[in-house]
């Protein structure tokens, strides 16, 4: 059991049959009245974020989220196939559970499969990946305004904004958490 007074960022718990993860929390002790915990929690199955207030004495069952390393093998229609690194079993996952998580992941790269009680609900790509630019416009000479960017398509099909000096064939380091360009690899 986890008490609302023990909430920290990243804590997962069950409430009303749903599994939530604490995104933000604030312990509030007003001058008058009882203390409370103001939270922003994310339903890890649906992805929706809500704000809720709890008493510090409220208790909830702790939700154990299993994170398993698997290798992304291939996509076949609405199914994405992942290989277990230990047993070499192929596991199909529906496109609705994958979402945008694989837009920066190439085939044969490792990802973390997130599950609760054996039910897969999401995928965590590596924080940083290196991808090649397959399409971008050449930077114009003299267009050197500070911070100027242009769109570039990567080998996975994702499009990001990059500095003007990036060319087709460059390998870039990408932060998958926000989809931003970090540096040339």
Condensed to tens digits (0 to 9), the pLDDT of residues 18-44 reads 888 888 899 989 888 889 999 999 888
Q: Which CATH number fits domain 2-60: 2.60.120.260, 3.40.50.300, 2.30.30.30, 3.90.1150.10?
A: 2.30.30.30
- Residues 27 and 5 sit within 8 Å (Cβ to Cβ): yes
pLDDT digit string, tens, across residues 164-184: 888 889 999 998 888 888 888
Contacts with 117 (C-beta within 8 Å, 6 or more apart), sequence order:
none
What is the helix (H) or strand (E) element at residue 34, kind and residue range? Answer: none
CATH T-level assignment (fold) for domain 129-184: OB fold (Dihydrolipoamide Acetyltransferase, E2P) (2.40.50)
């Amino acid at each position: 059991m986890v008490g609302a007074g023990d909430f920290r960022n990243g804590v997962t718990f069950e409430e009303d049959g749903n599994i939530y993860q604490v995104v933000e929390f604030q312990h509030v002790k007003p001058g008058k009245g009882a203390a409370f915990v103001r939270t922003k929690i994310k339903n890890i199955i649906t992805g929706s974020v809500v704000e809720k207030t709890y008493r510090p004495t409220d208790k909830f069952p702790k939700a154990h989220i299993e994170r398993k390393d698997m290798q992304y093998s291939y996509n076949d229609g609405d199914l994405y196939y992942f290989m277990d690194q230990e047993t070499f079993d192929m596991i199909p996952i529906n496109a609705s559970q994958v979402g945008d998580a694989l837009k920066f992941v190439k085939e044969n790269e490792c990802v973390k499969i997130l599950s609760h009680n054996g039910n897969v609900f999401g995928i965590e790509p590596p924080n940083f990946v290196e991808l090649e630019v397959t399409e971008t416009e050449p930077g114009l000479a003299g267009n050197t305004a500070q911070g100027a960017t242009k769109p570039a398509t990567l080998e996975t099909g994702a499009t990001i904004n990059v500095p003007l000096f990036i060319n087709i064939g460059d390998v870039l380091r990408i932060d998958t958490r926000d989809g931003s360009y970090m540096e040339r690899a």
